[in-house]
Structure 1
Amino acid sequence: MVEISEEKVIESKQESIKNTCEYQGELYFVFSDISNGKCFIDVNGERKYLDKNGCVANKQCGTKSIKTAIENFEDMKKIQDYFIENKKWNFYLLFTLNINTGRRISDLLQSKWSDFFYKNGNMKKFWDVKRIDELGYRVDGEKKTRKKKELFINIAIQEAFRIFLENEKSIDFEYDYDEYIFKQLHGTHRGKVISQEGYRQALIKAGEYLDYDIRSHSMRRGMGKMMIELHPNDLVAKSVLMELYNHSSEKITNKYLGETAKLEREYLQDFGEKYKKYVMDGQEIPFVVKKPVSVYDNSELRDYMLCAFGKILDAKDETNAVEIMKLYNQLLDGLEMIAK
């Protein structure tokens, strides 16, 4: 009778084959790591862990998460020009759509020519984001949230498609109309859809022209931050972005754009400066009169201010001091009612 050591049993379990996974055009066996229960594939001696869908996860163990936003139009142009100069037209188009739609890369990679064009070659005005459901059908909605989203196709997207089609002569709507847009058009993996990892590597390479790291979410965040800068006095700008991102609250949008983190840094810095001044340096602490502080939800306060402004306009011709005072008190009472 042949005895099998406990170490061999563990090793066998750890390396047991469950199924296969396609990664960058190649098929790999899937193994299970007994130490953490996660599935992985072995790519040239390097473990690539899988997500819950059985695909190589974007965030790998031991790698840092990049949460930057591409900062300005100058940096956007550097990335665009890199793809153009190197004739990477697929990535040029993907980058342009990534930043002009604010969509996640998973949604963009599932888009087809028929999503953006009619069969006669004319471009549509809106893109209905689609995903693959559990039965393999294409249905309306984002892959991550499953929320439906119809996006206006702006002039930059139209121009990017024109430039792409001028340079990639292999696209023929008669045959490619129902094909995925972002298929690899050349090389060993021709015909396969670009992987998220492939786009990530392309951005890393293009990002060498910047002094900070970028990923696909950098475009999504950057678009939002630039929109806020382009509409600085628009009271509904945050609400528009909330709808655009399909976020459930303005609070999530603020956090996503990095505004919450920015305020957190400012608060910590303010506290640190005062601590150093009064505790560490021993300077005299000034007498501070404590004042009541009211906290408001941004969207509720914005709606209230618009309503109050309307009432003030309605009363612009009022000369009766008593009526004016009534309105003043009414508006103050309203502020107290919406205070948290």
Structure 2
Amino acid sequence: MKFVQPIRDPEIIRAIKKDLKSQKDIRNYLLFEIGINTGLRISDILQLRVKDLKKKYLYLIEVKTKKQKQFEMNPHVRKELLTYLEGRDDEEFVIKSRQGVNKPLKRSMTYKILRKIAKKYGLEQIGNHTLRKTYGYFFYQETHDIAMLQKIFNHSDPQFTLRYIGIIQDTINEATKRFRI
């Protein structure tokens, strides 16, 4: 299994968002924005319907764990997403496939979308977990609350969470850059 990394550079994130927003089809922008602002797994993002974002709290049952999850999305992000979803039916999937009627995008296609972004911006080790890890990375950088992030991600060990979001690797990289005999 390939280990993927978060996107650590806020300037690259802003550039990706600007680029995706300017495209004719806003679907990929919605995917990216929801991913980096909720920390949800791709499988959970793909199950979201328009009506889910209209509520103050997101309620969902995680595809992987089958556990119920409830949280309040950042109101500014939610409001912006809803402007792009205006006029769409409540039962429509937010991240729709172009094939079939109201079918969610497949994980394999989200991977292709993210790989295309990675290639354009010179990013390596990018995959479906990158968006979730990016959320975690910046959440931790802002709060330094590993216990809360561990709870959000439903991880059993804080060390796993730190490794998952790339903090341990960052620490190792910084230490080895400074190390000299």
Contact in 2 for aligned 1:78/1:209 (Cα 8 Å): no
Q: Deviations for 1:68-89, whole angstroms, at most 9, x for unmatched residues?
A: 1111321112221222222221
Question: C-alpha distance in 2, partners of 1:162/1:113?
Answer: 8
Aligned counterpart, 2:20: 83
Identify the structure with the greater strand proportion.
1
Read off the aligned partner of 2:93 and give its amino acid letter: Y
Identify the structure with the greater helix proportion.
2
Contact in 2 for aligned 1:93/1:160 (Cα 8 Å): no
Contact in 2 for aligned 1:82/1:206 (Cα 8 Å): no
Contact in 2 for aligned 1:79/1:207 (Cα 8 Å): no
Aligned counterpart, 2:153: 245
TM-score for both structures, normalised by structure 1: 0.47
Matching residue within 108, 114, 127 for 1:197: 108
Q: Within 5 Å, give how 1:285-296 maps onto structure 2.
A: none
Question: C-alpha distance in 2, partners of 1:216/1:115?
Answer: 21
Contact in 2 for aligned 1:147/1:246 (Cα 8 Å): no
Q: Equivalent residue of 2:68, what SS?
A: coil
Q: Within 5 Å, give how 1:248-287 maps onto structure 2.
A: 248-263=156-171, 269=176, 273=180, 277=181
1:128 equivalent to 2:59? Answer yes
1:182 equivalent to 2:95? Answer yes
Q: Deviations for 1:166-206, whole angstroms, at most 9, x for unmatched residues?
A: 5xx5x1xxxx323432223x5x5453221111111112222
Higher relative CO (Cα under 8 Å, sequence separation at least 6) belongs to: 2
Displacement after TM superposition at 1:160 (Å): 3.2
Displacement after TM superposition at 1:150 (Å): 0.9
Contact in 1 for aligned 2:53/2:78 (Cα 8 Å): no
Displacement after TM superposition at 1:103 (Å): 0.5
Read off the aligned partner of 1:258 and give its amino acid letter: G
Contact in 2 for aligned 1:96/1:160 (Cα 8 Å): no
Q: Within 5 Å, give how 1:315-330 maps onto structure 2.
A: none
CA spacing shift, 1:85–1:254, aligned 2, 3 Å: same
Q: Within 5 Å, give how 1:149-160 maps onto structure 2.
A: 149-160=69-80
Task: Pick the structure with greater CA Rg.
Answer: 1
Aligned counterpart, 1:165: 85
Would you say how many aligned residue pairs link Structure 1 and Structure 2?
179
Read off the aligned partner of 2:77 and give its amino acid letter: I
Contact in 2 for aligned 1:83/1:206 (Cα 8 Å): no
Question: C-alpha distance in 1, partners of 2:31/2:131?
Answer: 11
CA spacing shift, 1:177–1:165, aligned 2, 3 Å: closer
Q: Equivalent residue of 1:216, what SS?
A: coil
| Identical columns (%) | 26
Across the aligned residues of Structure 1 and Structure 2, the Cα RMSD in angstroms comes to 2.5
TM-score for both structures, normalised by structure 2: 0.84
Contact in 1 for aligned 2:50/2:85 (Cα 8 Å): no
